Amino acid sequence: MPMKPAPDKQTLLRSLPSIQDVLVNPVVTAIAIDPRYLTPIIREELNAIRVAIRDDSFRQTDILAYLLKKIESRSRTLLNPSLQRVINASGIVLHTNMGRAPLPLSARQAVREVSENFSNLELNLENGKRGNRQSHCAELLKTLTGAEDAIVVNNCAAAILLALTAICRRKEVPVSRGELVEIGGSFRMPDVMKFSGAKMVEVGTTNKTHLRDYAEAITEKTSALLKVHCSNYRIVGFTKDVSIGELANLAHQHELPFIYDMGSGMMEDMQHLGYPYEPTVRDILSEGVDLVVFSGDKILGGAQSGIVVGKKQWLEKLRKHHLARALRCDKMTLAALEATLRLYLQPKDLIKTLPVAHMLAEPVDNLRRRAEKILRSDSLSPLQIEIVEARSQIGSGAFPLETLPSIALRISGPLSALKIQKALRQFQPPVIGYVQDDALLLNLRTIRQDEDKIVHEALSRLATQST
């Protein structure tokens, strides 16, 4: 049979539907988006087809079907949530790319309460006058850390920016060369310093900084001493840094404030739960630090926020600075943080009440039992899965060298590790594992027990896809 000759370009171009035709197509009228937002999408897709026809690169036989598919797909991007839940099987508990800390129940309820209703965000219920949004977390933070005063802003980076701007602008701040850190690619201490208008004076060397290096750098232009927690790295070997107590003393001899960027900010000593050792915010304050700055969504386990606790005299400067207004938190953040902080009043229950603590403390035997239960099903053939020992990280720059023992499901076939990873990422909800030695690992420590069945479903689906 002779083949039908391909229609020429002009015929194809003439056969393109008009925007109006497309708008009244039942497929398009069924899309829950107003025509005024669909029109430009249709126009763009029609133009793309027109260009492809002219370049001879258009290969579709049914133009209308192809166009409708494109429009549906673009509409789905608009209609489906972009920000969505995922199953964190990375083993990294505080993963910045996956939203760091999952919130405790009480925090979720508090967010709901203040977001559904009006609230006393800035209303003083005693006298009916204007209140202060900073008041809601302040008493808890003071009680928990022993600080004189506390404020909360959008994140730790914002808190440092505010402290440096309010106290150090146009003045000098000596910082150790060993602490000029970059965290997560977006937070670089030298850049934040520059942005604040403070002049950084580098002291010491990368591996060694002595007290005398700081002392020699202090001039009449010095406004504060600053120490930065080396969150995501360690300088090991022939090293020396100056203790917090020594620096606080030096600062106070010169009547300067001493600011400590703690990064993760431990509220409660949790070594008995298997956490590595790290001084608490209270410990740091008792060394004489004037301002301690830390994140609300790292090891603390609350909402994204930056907390500053310390001496009233300095916090007053932060509170009054114009920048504080620009960096202030939203009511939902404050509600979540307040409820999370309240849990710390009863530290013995944290393992039950705080998801991050629960994850970090879950015994390996438990993780192993859960892994066995996920696999106790024959519906997973032909997947090659085994239960292996793994390591887990706290993440977000907390304890870079310490890892926790964990258990992982190791899937080594029949598909390649990258294909398995992609398939699991496309599951609803996406399951995010990691590739190691040509296999895909799902680390149990960051999977919540109630998510085990989702992991099983994702694996069943993967098994079906692999047959």
State the amino acid at position 185 in one-letter form.
G
155 lies in the binding site for ligand PLP (CB under 6 A): yes
Instruction: List residues bridging with 291 in a β-sheet.
Output: 259, 310
Q: Indicate whether 260 belongs to the interface with ligand PLP (CB under 6 A).
A: no
Site for ligand PLP in 325-384 (CB under 6 A): none
Strands 199-203 and 182-183, bridge-based pairing: unpaired
Q: Does 278 bind ligand PLP (CB under 6 A)?
A: no
Stretch that binds ligand PLP, among 87-95, 154-162, 249-257, 333-341 (CB under 6 A): 154-162
Nearest partner of 67 among 37, 43, 102, judged by Cα? 43
Q: What is the CA radius of gyration of the chain?
A: 28
Minimum CB separation from ligand PLP for residue 339, in Å? Answer: 19
Query: What DSSP string runs through 329-347?
Result: PPHHHHHHHHHHHHHTTSG
Q: Least distance in Å: CB of 284 to ligand PLP? A: 13
Residues 63-82 touching ligand PLP, rule: CB under 6 A, are none
Nearer to ligand PLP, 298 or 370 (CB): 298
Q: How far is the CB of 153 from ligand PLP (least distance, A)?
A: 10
Closest residue by Cα to residue 218 from 238, 198, 203: 203
Selected from 45, 213, 241, 261, the binder of ligand PLP by CB under 6 A is 261
Site string for ligand PLP, 210-239 (x = CB under 6 A): ------------------xx-x--------
Q: At what angle do helices 331-343 and 135-145 cross, to 10 degrees?
A: 30
For ligand PLP, which is the closer residue by CB, 260 or 427?
260
Question: 119 is written with which tokens?
Answer: 């609230």
User: Per rule CB under 6 A, is residue 280 in the interface with ligand PLP?
Assistant: no
Determine which residue in the list 187, 214, 314, 344 makes contact with ligand PLP, applying CB under 6 A: 187
369 and 391 Cβ atoms separated by less than 8 Å: no
Q: Collect all residues with Cβ–Cβ distance below 8 Å to 373 and sequence separation of at least 6.
A: 452
| CA 441/CA 360 separation, integer angstroms | 18
156 binds ligand PLP (CB under 6 A): yes
Nearer to ligand PLP, 35 or 99 (CB): 99
Q: For residue 455, give the nearest of 401, 382, 362, 377 by alpha carbon.
A: 377
Which residue number places its CB atom closest to ligand PLP? 263
Residue numbers at the binding site for ligand PLP (CB under 6 A): 155-157, 183, 187, 228-229, 231, 261, 263-264, 295, 306, 396-397
